[in-house]
Structures are given as C-alpha cells and as structure tokens.
Structure 1
Amino acid sequence: MCVIGLISLFFIRMIFMGVFVKRVDYWKMSRIIKVPYYFLAGSKWKESSGSQGCVPLNTLKCISFDRSAPNEPSPPRQVPVRELNKQVREKSREKSPPPALTSRPETTPPQDAEQIENPPTFDLLDVPGAMKNMGWPVSAELATEWFGSAKHIYDDNPNSVQPIDSATISLDWCLNFGGVKDKYNDLISRKIYNEAAGALIKNKIRPILERGFQQSIALDFNTKIFLKDLRKFHMDWQFQIVSVSSYDTLTSHLGMTDLTAALANFGIYAAIGHVEVRGDRYYKYDRSAKTRTYCMDAQIKVTHVYVYVKDNYSFNDSDGNSQYLGHWNKKGVILTKGSLVSELVNGRRLHTRFGNSIEAEMNFNWKYLFDRPLDKPVDKRTGVIRKFMERDVYWPVYNSTYNRWRERHNRGGDFMIYSKPKYVKLGRPIEVDVGVICRPAEKM
C-alpha cells in the first residue's frame, strides 16, 4: 500500500474513533428553525434562506463593552468570561446530582434557537474595523470619532449648538454614490427657482437691504464672510433643501455603500452666496408735509449659491422601538429582517424566493421576518461540520446598544456633520422682486 493510502486509512480510523471530530447530534440540529439573512456580495444584496439560512442562538452572553474607548483610562481587571463560566460549571457539578439517563424522544417540536454557553466575543468597538473590512473607510472614521469623543447626546434640535465635523464628508464625495447626483441636479436646476424658495430669499434679504439702503446705494453683497460659523450661516442663509434617502445612496444593484453606512438619510442644502441688487431710485414727495423720501424698487439676482451636506451623527430613537442597525461581527454586517431591506430601498419591492420553494416554506420562521428584528445572535454556519465559528457568528446592534455603551464608558459624543460649502455659479440667476424700500422722510 502506498504512503498516501496508509495516511488516508490512518485519518479515516481516527475520525471513526472520534479523535478529530466531536460528535454532533444532527437530529437536534435539524430541528432548529433557520431564518433567512441578507449579505453583501460585491455591490449586491444576496439572500441566503432555507437550509442555507442562519441559526438563531440563545445565550446569556451579550455584545462586549469591555474594551476601553480611545483615550479612556483602562478599567480594573475583571475576571474573564471563560473563567467565570468555568467557575459556574464547577459549582453546578458540585451541587447538582448526575443527570438521569433518558431515552431519545421520538419527536421534538422545532426550536426557535440553539443553546450556546460561550459564543465568540464581539466588542462594539470592533464595528469601525468591520466597516473598513466592508470597504467603508469614511463610515469607520465617523464611528471612531464618535467612540473617541466625550459623552454628548444630541437634543434633536437641528439648530441647537452641537459639536461640528466639517472635514470628514465632502459634497463631491457624496455625489459619487447612487442617485445622489440626480438629487443635487434637481436642487440646482429646479428647486431653487420655485416659488417657496423665492419667498424665503425675499424674507431673508429684504431686512438686510432696508438697513443697508439707509447709508448706501451700493447694496451688492456676498455671504462668504459668514462661513466661519457654519451653524449660524445655515440658519441665516439657507433657503432650499433636497432630501436624500438611504435608497439614493445604494448601488445600482441596491447594495449598501460607504455613504449609506455613514449618513443614510441626509439633506443637501442651498444657501445664498452672491447677491446683485438693481432697481429704479427716486424721491417721493409729500407737498402737505413738505418732505421727500428716497426710495428704490429693489430687484435682486442671486448669481451664486453655496451648496453643502448637513446631517446629525447620533443614535436617538424617535419612538419606543430602537432602530435596528444590522447584525455585526469583526468581518462586517448582515441583515436578518426582510422588512429592513424594503426600508433600505425606500419602499420599493425586492424580488425574493420567499414562499416559492418547499424548502423555504418549511424552514422559514416568519415571525422573525416582519414583526420585529431578530434580537438574537445568529450563526451562518458556513462550515461543513463546525459551528459557532467567529467568522460566522453575528450580533444584533441597535441604537440602544450604542446608548448603553455610552453610559458604561461615559464617552460617545453625538455631533453635527457639515460638508464644506461649495460655491456654485448659477447658469440662470434667481430673480426676486423685493419691493419698495425707502429711507426716512426728510424735510424739503
């Protein structure tokens, strides 16, 4: 017999002796109801369902908050989880009598999750690394900034004073994704010229012209000098917005992008940039009062605008349910809720195999798909035999997960994101009739 044959015979014998393979109760595994999940393959979402679905896990273990945040003092050493589990098992063996032998039941009802005592650890601080692994460097940078900042909670007031990041996101970067450029073009070519935008421009500029006209007839101005305070600039000069949904940030195959993970839903804003003022100037005479009043029929042209992105980076929830952010591990993210995919594509329906195969109908646990997110870790179980591998176990993450981490570490700072305002010359100026403005009457 050749050497290869001897080696093969040796390994086969070892396998049957149980040296290399731990005994697995496949009859038990088959009774676990698998649920579908979605994963990104390149730029596409793909569905894995039926026998290829993931296995929900029941465990007392949670996402770890043990690692210190950037610049955070290290906490006192704690007993490792494995050591604690070992102590618990030893005490349990001391107090509990040996289990009685029972015969295998003929039939058992399907379980909604598999029990596991110590699944692979996942720390919330692993999320930025997972984002980098997914090819989302900007998202990772923003997440790292949040973890490394002092504790601060956004008050849901878009005009309130907040920490500002105006360096990480740029308008041009955002325009590279999905349908964002179409939204931008709609803003610049149509929305800034509508009646509502004109009315807001008039309301903002008229008081300025009335004050300026008291001392000068040179009324043209530029808002560049106000850019040092982006919050105040936004409040004073913004006059139109186009909303960008998470759907607009997806690839042509509906895959998530770095922009989806960084901002999801946000706004692109237009603010007044350069204004030219024209109009007839004249005196109005009051013969009875013997006064004259210097007036102007003010017509303005907005020839340039500033365009920028604005959004808040926070983890607030608007209702009683915390927003589901996906199932994460150190490698990336998967989604375990069918309705979340519909939410990502802004209500557009996706074609899936749900219910179109016997396997899908038999193995799907429908309550997980649409009633609520799956609030359990899951095991993709891509190995032939092994299970609970670190690469396959994913943990559910919610807004509330970040909020609990913040309370634990006294860090985690929400902030406002601005892109640097881009100065854009309009092909067609915005023309607005401001109306008559006058100086105080003077004696003749």
Structure 2
Amino acid sequence: MDLSYYKINKLLWRWSKKDGARIVREAKLSMDKAPPALPVPPAAKVSPTPKPPKPDPLVQMVDDLYRASDAFSRSKKWLDTPAPPKQPKPTKPEKTVPPFDIQEIPGAMRKEAMPIGARLMERWFAGRLNYSPTDDDERGKINQDGKPYPPDMYDTTTVKLDWVLKPERARSKYDYLINEAIRSDKARKALHDTLVPYKGRSDLFTTDICGDDPERLHKLFQFQRVGVDGTLAEKIKLQLIADVERSVVPDDLTAALGSFNIYAAIGSVRFSQDIASGVIVSSTTKAEITGIWVYVTDSYTFTDKQGDRSQYLGHWSSDGVIVIPLDGVAAISPYIPYVESPVTLGNPVIKGEVHYPIHNSDFRQWQIRHQRGGDFVVFTDRRFVPVVPPIKVYL
C-alpha cells in the first residue's frame, strides 16, 4: 500500500505533498551506536622516559650479523614453500536495508537547514544521564537523583537572542513584551511583590545581586513573559490534521527551542518617597523600573505529558525528514494507530531512502539503554532594555 507524505520543498520552504511511500517491514531504528565519549579531565604531566645508553659497538655488530642471517633463512623458506590452492570466489552478499541510528538525526537536521537544533541534540547525546521524572521536577530543575541540575546541564552559549529574534513571529512577540506586556496589571502586581523586600534602598541594580548568573536572575527578578510558537510535534500535528500543502514548515528555531517564552526580568530600579518641604508626606515608597533584562530560557528535553501518547517527531532518515498524515490524526485520537513502520521513498537498500518514525519515547529508550543523555537548560544572552517612561509601582 502506498502512503501520502509531506516533504520539505527547500526552494519554496513549504511542505510539498507527495505519494508513493511504502512500508518496510524488515527495517528497524538502530540504537546500537555507542554514545560520544564523556569529556576526560586533563592528565597529569608525566616526566619523560630517560634515553637508554648506547650499546657496545662489538655487541651491536654481532646483533646485526644475527638479524641478517635470520632474514636470509626466512626468505629461503618462503621461496621453497609451494603456492596455496586458489580459493573459490565468494558469493555476493544479499543486499539489505542499511541501518539508521538515532544518533544520525542531527546530521539529517543539518541537511534540513537546522544547524542550531542539531548542535543542541548532539549536546544531549553527549551529556551524562540527567532527566526530571515529573513535570514538577522539570519546572524545579530537579533530576532523577532528587538533586538540582548540575552546572554542566546549563547551556548559555549555543543560542543567541539576536538569532532567536530573526523570525518575524519571535520579533513581534518581543516588541509586544517590551512595549505592552511589561506594563500590564499582572506585570505590575509581580513587580510589586518582587520589590517590596528592597524598598529601603535608594536604587537597585539586579546585577549587583545576581552577578552573571542567569538562573539566579531568572529566579529572583523575572516578572513577565510572552509565549512563542509550538513544538515540532505540535506543528507537525496541526499541519497533518489541516492537510494544507503550502503551510510553512518547522524551521531551525522550532527544532532548537520548540515552544518557548521570551522573559523580562528587573534590571534597574529607582526608589523614592513623597516629600514636601523636607517632610515625608507618606510612608509609601515609589519604585520606578528604569531598565529590564530580556532573554530566552527553555528546557531541552524529550518529556511527554503523563497519560498522553508520545509525541511524533516525523519520519527521519540520513537525508532528512518527511511526515505521514495518518500520524497527525493518531496524535490526537486514542483509536487511530500510528504508522509505526519505517517507509521507503525509493529503493530501500540505498542509504537515506528509508525513513523511520521518531517519537520522544525513542530518545528516552536510548537514554535508558546507554545510561547517557542529559536533559539541560538553555539560556540565551541577555539584552538590557531601558524602560521609557519608567514603570511606576507603589510599595
């Protein structure tokens, strides 16, 4: 039975609907490739081995004569040995489907113009075992050992804010955040509750408290956020349910961050009190927020919501990704099965022609099998944005 599928048209950067995908029963996703080696700490310096003393000239001459005689003896024996009988020509092995390992997906992502997404996935594969057993643990950044994520499970260099804001869908949300959302009633309430402990100051610069620690700034002073996009699985699901050929395909931003938030945290505040003729008129403190920090943070994980089917991430091969419409419907219906089998678009014995269904659960299976794979937290760099006019909050 031939199946319809969607493939990325790189010229138009749209999904292109095609027919002719055929199920391949004998193929199975490989998880056999060993994970990347963990970083090894630099070894201690070892003193060089002293050079051996030069041999005695007479002893050296005797050794040379012995080696020459031995070589002549072996050469004569080889000349006197009859030639072995000719072996029959080996039969050609039967052609089989080339294996596709789950660790080949980052390479395929690069072919689909998703280099940042590929780098983050490679980091996940290379990490030591780290994951959150529950949604609450993930929000609290608590791992399987009941401990906070270790420092090497924070990535602050791969994803840049300027890169995130290149697509219009992200830039428009950023503009909404700094121009409107930070002045909402909800944001003012959060600002009030956050600043009450600091109202005895004349001013506040949050970097004096948090230094260059993005996690501490986020925990203590974040007060507003706006959401951007949906996950790769959500975009594929919506695309397949709608069955719209010219829908925009997921891009590198989707592959890297999926559904994420742009955050605003307090940057600088000026405090003052109502004073008339040198006398304090009111005990109320006025806080004027004069600057904010804007950044993105997101968890890189393959967690599924409890009770839900594992999210379908497309059919992947070493050449890229396709999506099967039936999987999109199955993702929202407990009664329709997934297309769980690999499919081929041509000759299945050619590398890259067979595409394998990938779900979040596949990465979790790999994680359990190899006891590797580190869920981690992404932080972009931070941008200081002056707030003009300042936001006034009374404490």
Q: In structure 2, the residue corresponding to 1:129 is in which secondary structure?
A: helix
Give the counterpart of 1:198 among 188, 197, 200: 188
Residue equivalent to 1:110 = none
Please state if 1:58 is matched with 2:25.
yes
Structure 2, unaligned stretches of length 5 or more?
40-93, 142-147, 236-245
In 2, Cα distance between the equivalents of 1:149 and 1:64? 19
Mark the CA change 1:342 to 1:47 in structure 2 (over 3 Å): closer, same or farther.
farther
Residue equivalent to 1:44 = 14
Mark the CA change 1:148 to 1:330 in structure 2 (over 3 Å): closer, same or farther.
same
Mark the CA change 1:372 to 1:184 in structure 2 (over 3 Å): closer, same or farther.
farther
> Contact (CA 8 Å) 1:272, 1:304: kept in 2 or not?
yes
| RMSD over equivalenced CA pairs, Å | 3.1
TM-score scaled to structure 2, two decimals?
A: 0.72
Please state if 1:147 is matched with 2:125.
yes
The amino acid across from 1:202 in the alignment is H
Mark the CA change 1:269 to 1:340 in structure 2 (over 3 Å): closer, same or farther.
farther
> Contact (CA 8 Å) 2:262, 2:295: kept in 1 or not?
yes
Mark the CA change 1:401 to 1:387 in structure 2 (over 3 Å): closer, same or farther.
closer
In 2, Cα distance between the equivalents of 1:142 and 1:341? 29
The amino acid across from 1:323 in the alignment is Q
The amino acid across from 2:220 in the alignment is D
Q: In structure 2, the residue corresponding to 1:279 is in which secondary structure?
A: strand
Mark the CA change 1:396 to 1:206 in structure 2 (over 3 Å): closer, same or farther.
same
The amino acid across from 1:222 in the alignment is F
Residue equivalent to 1:100 = none
Q: Which runs of 4+ in 1 moved over 6 A?
A: 247-250
Please state if 1:158 is matched with 2:128.
no
Mark the CA change 1:337 to 1:72 in structure 2 (over 3 Å): closer, same or farther.
farther
Give the counterpart of 2:353 among 392, 395, 401: 392
Residue equivalent to 1:67 = 33
The amino acid across from 1:379 in the alignment is T
In 2, Cα distance between the equivalents of 1:54 and 1:375? 13
Mark the CA change 1:325 to 1:395 in structure 2 (over 3 Å): closer, same or farther.
same
The amino acid across from 1:69 in the alignment is P
Please state if 1:401 is matched with 2:362.
yes
Please state if 1:175 is matched with 2:165.
yes
In 1, Cα distance between the equivalents of 2:321 and 2:211? 38
Residue equivalent to 2:68 = none
The amino acid across from 1:421 in the alignment is R
The amino acid across from 1:297 in the alignment is T
Residue equivalent to 1:229 = 213
> Contact (CA 8 Å) 1:337, 1:374: kept in 2 or not?
no
Superposition deviation, residue 68 in structure 1: 1.5
Residue equivalent to 2:203 = 220
Please state if 1:429 is matched with 2:390.
yes
Residue equivalent to 2:256 = 262
The amino acid across from 1:330 in the alignment is S
Please state if 1:334 is matched with 2:322.
yes
Mark the CA change 1:372 to 1:167 in structure 2 (over 3 Å): closer, same or farther.
farther
Superposition deviation, residue 236 in structure 1: 0.8
Residue equivalent to 1:82 = none
What are the Cα deviations for residues 127-183 of structure 1, in whole angstroms up to 9, with x where unaligned? 111111212111111011001010111343323332211111111111112411011
Superposition deviation, residue 247 in structure 1: 8.0
Give the counterpart of 1:302 among 258, 272, 289: 289
Q: In structure 2, the residue corresponding to 1:36 is in which secondary structure?
A: strand
Mark the CA change 1:159 to 1:322 in structure 2 (over 3 Å): closer, same or farther.
same
Mark the CA change 1:134 to 1:264 in structure 2 (over 3 Å): closer, same or farther.
same
> Contact (CA 8 Å) 1:197, 1:240: kept in 2 or not?
yes
> Contact (CA 8 Å) 1:336, 1:373: kept in 2 or not?
no
Give the counterpart of 1:317 among 297, 304, 320: 304
Matched ranges for 1:16-95 at <5 A? 33-42=1-10, 43-48=13-18, 52-59=19-26, 61-71=27-37
Superposition deviation, residue 233 in structure 1: 1.5
In 2, Cα distance between the equivalents of 1:263 and 1:158? 16
Residue equivalent to 1:185 = 175
Q: In structure 2, the residue corresponding to 1:35 is in which secondary structure?
A: strand
> Contact (CA 8 Å) 2:263, 2:296: kept in 1 or not?
yes
> Contact (CA 8 Å) 1:34, 1:53: kept in 2 or not?
yes
Aligned length: 313
